[in-house]
């Protein structure tokens, strides 16, 4: 991770196909394309790779979440349960539809705590959105059982965990809907892009229409298409899809390299007293894009994070004080700061995030250091990095 580390001739060839045809839009202009339909090709290949019946490409991971929620009928006043540790896109996508994000604690998986999820369910709950942060997954079996019991939608945000699996199924394909991001720093990238996968025909049709102004995409005359429902513009371009198509062919190699580098780093730290690792639920395999460790206390984690940086170990993150990925930095959400007037449902139903007790999440996040696993490192550099990390953390502890 990330996919831009392996840009090469394959991406250039796919992009050149688009530029030579001159058709950068994924719809229409059939006669000018010279047979190039990059978005359609990517959707077919990605659905197959993710063991899903359908894939809808969109313009970003945030767009994917919004389109997925909309395709399942989530709207104004519906509550969507999400974790305290995620990217801001999670609540942005929910609120964009007038729905209400309900934040709950994480556990030692660094993802949704199933007990916290069940405790947060109300008559207005429509969806549970686990976010597979830093390459690994939530307790999906427990969450699926909860959703089945309460007739809720299970929407997997797998934007940071492409290539991981649970019970033999690719992450994103286990729930009713799965979402992916292909932005510039993801495991595979389109530059900007995202995808929604599902096995449900109705969700597939809804997603296809919603992401393109409600077009029904029937026939070969775009101007004659009807609009069965309202929609918006979340389309991907042929240029972005072309890059992603080349990257998808490299995914298995990327995952293999990530696992190899991850294993070297983890083995170096496994024998250090006081270091423990995030729990991967039974039946799951992470995608190895991050090595996530716990130190005994918040103070030691802060100290170790600073010492690693001083020792030249970059791309290690202390999420607890990060403005983008943990609730501590989301003042704009806590205060509901928006450019315009927010929907009444959000203003009336939103929990008071300034007074909600998230001490269980704090207890995990305060002790967590996440280290990005890059695929561009030579093996000697990985081993040097592992030795330095072991030395620095051992000295701290």
pLDDT 10s digits, 145-183: 999 999 999 999 999 999 999 999 999 999 999 999 999
Report the pLDDT averaged over residues 261-279: 97
Q: Are residues 191 and 288 in the same domain?
A: no
Report the pLDDT averaged over residues 76-104: 98
What residues act catalytically?
A: 186
Cβ atoms within 10 A of the Cβ of 381, count?
A: 12
Report the pLDDT averaged over residues 215-233: 95
Task: Tell me what pLDDT residue 338 has.
Answer: 97
Residue 231: asked if its preceding bond is cis (omega within 30°), the reply is no
Asked if residue 44 has pLDDT above 90, the reply is yes
Asked if residue 1 has pLDDT above 90, the reply is no
Report the pLDDT averaged over residues 99-121: 98
CA distances from 46 to 42, 139, 213, 249, 390 (A): 6, 24, 23, 10, 38
DSSP 326: B
Residue with tokens 């029904």: 216
Pairing of β 125-128 and β 177-181: unpaired
- Rounded-to-integer distance, Cα 18 and Cα 39, Å: 11
Question: pLDDT > 70: what percent of the chain?
Answer: 100
Residue with tokens 């927010």: 342
Task: Tell me what pLDDT residue 259 has.
Answer: 98
Query: Of 135, 156, 140, whose CA–CA distance to 198 is shortest?
Result: 156
DSSP 336: T
Q: Are residues 266 and 223 in the same domain?
A: no
Task: Tell me what pLDDT residue 201 has.
Answer: 98
Q: Are residues 178 and 314 in the same domain?
A: no
Whichever domain contains 11, its CATH number is 3.40.640.10
Q: Are residues 241 and 304 in the same domain?
A: no
Task: Tell me what pLDDT residue 112 has.
Answer: 98
Task: Tell me what pLDDT residue 351 has.
Answer: 97
- Among 192, 225, 250, the domain boundary falls at 250
Whichever domain contains 284, its CATH number is 3.90.1150.10
Query: Of 312, 332, 81, 72, whose CA–CA distance to 206 is shortest?
Result: 72
Report the pLDDT averaged over residues 62-71: 98
- Among 250, 284, 312, the domain boundary falls at 250
Which own/partner contact pairs does 338-344 have at CB distance under 8 Å and 24+ positions apart?
Answer: 342/95, 343/76, 343/98
Query: Of 263, 261, 251, whose CA–CA distance to 375 is shortest?
Result: 261
Report the pLDDT averaged over residues 5-25: 96
Q: What is the pLDDT of residues 271-311, one digit of tens each?
A: 899 999 999 999 999 999 999 999 999 999 999 999 999 99
Task: Tell me what pLDDT residue 127 has.
Answer: 98
Q: What is the pLDDT of residues 345-366, one digit of tens each?
A: 999 999 999 999 999 999 999 9
Cβ-based neighbours of 292, under 8 Å, separated by 6 or more: 110, 134, 135, 136, 277, 278, 368, 369, 370, 371
Q: Are residues 213 and 308 in the same domain?
A: no
Asked if residue 192 has pLDDT above 90, the reply is yes
- Among 231, 250, 269, the domain boundary falls at 250
Q: Are residues 164 and 205 in the same domain?
A: yes
Report the pLDDT averaged over residues 315-322: 95
The b-or-e profile of 316-346 (16+ CB within 10 A means b, else e) is bbbbbeeeebbbbbbeebbeeeeeeeebebb
How much is the CA Rg of the chain, to the nearest whole Å? 21
**Count of domains in the chain?**
2
Task: Tell me what pLDDT residue 334 has.
Answer: 97
Task: Tell me what pLDDT residue 198 has.
Answer: 98
- Rounded-to-integer distance, Cα 200 and Cα 154, Å: 13
Structure-block tokens of residue 66: 């919004």
Q: Are residues 137 and 229 in the same domain?
A: yes
Q: Report residue 28's pLDDT band, with 50, 70 and 90 as the boundaries.
A: very high
Q: Which residues span the domain enclosing 274?
A: 252-396
């Amino acid at each position: 991770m990330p996919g831009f580390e392996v840009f090469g001739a394959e991406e250039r060839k796919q992009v050149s196909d688009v530029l030579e045809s001159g058709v950068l839009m994924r719809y229409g202009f059939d006669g000018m394309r010279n047979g190039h339909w990059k978005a359609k090709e990517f959707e077919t290949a990605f659905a197959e790779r993710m063991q899903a019946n359908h894939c809808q490409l969109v313009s970003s991971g945030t767009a994917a979440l919004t389109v997925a929620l909309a395709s399942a009928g989530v709207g104004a006043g519906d509550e969507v349960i999400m974790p305290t540790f995620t990217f801001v896109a999670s609540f942005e996508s929910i609120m964009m539809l007038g729905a209400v994000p309900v934040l709950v604690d994480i556990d030692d998986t660094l993802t949704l705590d199933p007990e916290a999820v069940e405790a947060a369910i109300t008559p207005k709950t429509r969806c549970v959105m686990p976010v597979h942060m830093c390459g690994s997954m939530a307790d999906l079996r427990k969450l699926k059982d909860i959703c089945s019991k309460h007739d809720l939608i299970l929407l997997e945000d797998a934007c940071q965990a492409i290539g991981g699996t649970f019970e033999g199924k690719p992450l994103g394909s286990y729930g009713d809907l799965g979402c992916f991001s292909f932005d510039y720093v993801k495991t595979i990238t389109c530059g900007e892009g995202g995808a929604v996968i599902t096995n449900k025909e109705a969700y597939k049709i809804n997603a296809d229409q919603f992401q393109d102004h409600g077009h029904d995409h029937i026939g070969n005359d775009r101007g004659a298409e009807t609009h069965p429902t309202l929609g918006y513009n979340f389309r991907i371009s042929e240029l972005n899809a072309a890059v992603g198509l080349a990257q998808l062919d490299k995914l298995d190699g990327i995952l293999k390299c990530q696992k190899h580098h991850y294993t070297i780093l983890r083995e170096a730290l496994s024998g250090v007293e006081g270091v423990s690792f995030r729990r991967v639920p039974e039946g799951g395999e992470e995608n190895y894009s991050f090595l996530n460790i716990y130190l005994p206390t918040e103070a030691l984690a802060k100290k170790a994070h600073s010492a690693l940086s001083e020792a030249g170990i970059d791309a290690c993150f202390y999420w607890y004080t990060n403005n983008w990925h943990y609730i501590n930095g989301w003042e704009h959400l806590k205060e509901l700061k928006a450019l315009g007037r927010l929907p009444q449902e959000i203003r009336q139903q939103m929990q008071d995030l300034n007074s909600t007790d998230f001490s269980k999440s704090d207890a995990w996040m305060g002790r967590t250091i996440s280290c990005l696993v890059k695929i561009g490192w030579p093996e000697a550099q990985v081993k040097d990095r592992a030795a330095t990390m072991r030395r620095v953390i051992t000295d701290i502890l």
